[in-house]
Structure 1
């Protein structure tokens, strides 16, 4: 078991324990997300064990977890296989995400009851900045983008809605991060987030929801195109 230390806002050290299976799970999920393992690839537990330098037990535990999430399947007497991306499911999750987020921004603009204004101020400190202060680190922007959308929902003050949204966010993360592999998409994200925030802060709910819907739809389209392109490149390189 590995101890990972995190610092809270109060500078209190918190120990989060990650098992070896957690580490294998995270690595295999990155392998799928970064197309080192492409849909259709077959492999065995022994091959993963040798590659990652761990025993088969954490590998098996990680694979069963990925199987439950729909990323791999076990083959009778012949190992495992990476499943094709289920774009229909991803689109359904994006639809649900859009309902949750547009509902949240309407609530942010229509009431003060339960609204966390500090979260909105914190978002402004990241997204409403001069061009010279924008980050070009795609991994960082991907993380901030996810936090932006989660914060919009959380700030609206409905805990159950925020919980469902976090679950949706986790399930689409593997393809959503691809939206930040190109600088024009990073620039567009800054511009679009800024417009959404300004509309929310001005209590223009309809405009904020319209901007947010367009932002999510564009991202969804771009992610699908990039995913298909990356899959094609990975298969071509392997062949």
Structure 2
């Protein structure tokens, strides 16, 4: 049983990463045996992994036709960012209210430093990963496991859209500055300032992303 669970977990992690990084891009479709062969695994763990990914809104299972990676739609991203804008600023504000220590915030500083370094190097993929790590770590520090699990699934969907559109927008200089501002507010325990800057960050990012999705024909959607 433990071995089967491990195989399912391995299939799930690999498929999710391929979807997040667009190695399996929006619209990609293949029968389950082909996907299993791609991973070098048997069909059973791959099937169970695909069921998990379907529940997370990343794929759909089509009878007798396999699995299809769901397209990136502007209306889906609008809903996702509305939820993130409602939840994340309050989570950050609650963290600020606890007066986090210098050591508590070390992972957020590391992620922000890496975003700045990646931007200077022109490495947008590295920047996006550091950006994700900042948001995920903040929720871990907040400590609400149910919120973390729910929002992480939204991050996976939003990450695909960001990777596809990242090179269609201006360099994320402002976004990087906003992360530094959020970190500075957290460090001083500024509850309302943290909430305001985080909300502004999500609202601006949503506006920018949706404009691109609505005005560009993205590949394989």
Q: Quick check: TM above 0.5?
A: yes
Q: CA deviation at 1:164?
A: 0.6
Unmatched tracts of structure 2, length 5 or more: none
Q: For residue 54 of structure 2, what is the aligned residue in structure 1?
A: 67
Q: CA deviation at 1:88?
A: 4.4
2:158 to 168, 172, 175: 175
Does structure 2 conserve the Cα–Cα contact (< 8 Å) formed by 1:135 and 1:141?
no
Deviates more, 1:60-69 or 1:19-28: 19-28
Q: For residue 147 of structure 1, what is the aligned residue in structure 2?
A: 133
TM-score normalized with structure 1 length:
0.67
Aligned equivalents of 1:71 and 1:133: distance in 2? 27
Quickly say closer, same or farther: Cα 1:217–1:149, change in 2 above 3 A: same
Q: For residue 212 of structure 1, what is the aligned residue in structure 2?
A: 198
Unmatched tracts of structure 1, length 5 or more: 4-16
Quickly say closer, same or farther: Cα 1:225–1:172, change in 2 above 3 A: farther
Q: CA deviation at 1:124?
A: 3.2
Q: For residue 124 of structure 1, what is the aligned residue in structure 2?
A: 109
Q: CA deviation at 1:86?
A: 5.9
Bigger share in helix: 2
Aligned equivalents of 1:132 and 1:56: distance in 2? 42
2:12 to 19, 25, 40: 25
CA-based RMSD: 3.9
Q: Which has the larger radius of gyration?
A: 1
The structure whose RCO (Cα within 8 Å, separation 6+) is larger is 2
Q: CA deviation at 1:60?
A: 1.8
